[in-house]
Structure 1
């Protein structure tokens, strides 16, 4: 039986970069990984309609607060999104950034409470992604929206493929698993357009896995995009 490998993890260091960039002592790794997970979970859950593509986290060396002289850990959080207006308030961008920054700092503070660890200071960046239909997570979100509105899955697949007509993608593959159109027996259906060479390590593959919650149950959605080969 063929074993499945995550297409992004397989290409780390070749065409993909790490989403978390930091180095620490061995004893601190579990705590910092949990902090990263909690930060990402909050952002993806809070701004589920913002079509967030990824959240990059960088940690810097422990420094001192200029005013209080207390040690602090600097953490840079960069959010790449298709709709930054869903995160930032157009009338008061600074206030919405400050509010999100304080919430993320409190999330980290809970993990460090009673452990004599330095406080965290968040540096927050929000970037807009221009070519949104060249991102697998955006296409997966669009397909989820169609399926949850009870659009037949074949029509939803065609509409999703049509969204990529004017992009520079070399290939796309979409797979849906579950009780499709309310069928009693779950099955898997997929559609492909162009080339998607998952065995080629130098292939620039963009991948996303999400779930759609329908009245018949949960549908698993996988999207692979092939953007070309990197030399």
Structure 2
């Protein structure tokens, strides 16, 4: 099969940017990675049910800005209104430096790969996964996006061996570096073991003139 390149990493500085923007000396970088992992894991596990999609960290001059990207910022703020003080206290324990929290709504959450993955996880059973993927693809491909690819792997329907279900619709030019392709991978725990959803979304293919 050969080695595969991550569709996000290979397009850094072309169509994608770094998830975090921080600067550390080499001896302190491992400490930052550990703290940021604990911070992001805590936030995602606690507030994913309220529409939290992704957490980004930006380094400012005297503090770190933690950006919470959500599907609906108004709904998210209403749900955590009574937990702001406890949230700030908890985050200061997880992250050693001063931080400021900013809630940001995604520009187009409908076709964000993480939103699609969570939607499939919440609304899809092993039996109806193909039908739900086709329904989502038919509503987005050709209207909002150019292509969608979904890969679901695991012990589907409790089978003895792991299986993989693929669905591709529209254009998905993974070899074109100028293509705006967004990717997400989510692991879920089922009664039969861990299953994985991988979603590729082709938003646009930029035409370059030679």
Establish whether TM, by shorter chain, passes 0.5.
Answer: yes
| Conserved 8 A contact 1:53-1:138 | yes
Instruction: Give the alignment's Cα RMSD to 1 decimal.
Output: 2.3
Deviation at 1:216, TM superposition (A): 2.9
1:113-152 superposed matches below 5 A: 120-147=97-124, 149=125, 151-152=127-128
Q: Secondary structure at the match of 1:219?
A: strand
CA 1:215–1:222 in 2, change beyond 3 Å: closer, same or farther?
A: same
Per-residue CA deviations over 1:78-134 (Å, capped at 9, x if unaligned) read: 1111143564236x84x543432221111124xxxxxxxxxx221110012253221
- 1:157 maps to 133
| Conserved 8 A contact 1:50-1:84 | no
- 1:36 maps to 36
| Conserved 8 A contact 1:105-1:122 | yes
Aligned mates of 1:216, 1:79 — CA distance in 2: 32
Q: Secondary structure at the match of 1:226?
A: strand
CA 1:206–1:50 in 2, change beyond 3 Å: closer, same or farther?
A: farther
Alignment size in residue pairs: 207
Per-residue CA deviations over 1:133-177 (Å, capped at 9, x if unaligned) read: 210000000111123x55522223223324525842010001111
Aligned mates of 2:84, 2:185 — CA distance in 1: 28
Task: Return 5+ residue gaps in structure 1 as ranges.
Answer: 63-73, 110-119
Instruction: Say if 2:68 is the partner of 1:79.
Output: yes
Task: Return 5+ residue gaps in structure 2 as ranges.
Answer: none
Q: Select 1:222's aligned residue among 177, 193, 198.
A: 198
CA 1:12–1:190 in 2, change beyond 3 Å: closer, same or farther?
A: same
Aligned mates of 1:160, 1:181 — CA distance in 2: 21
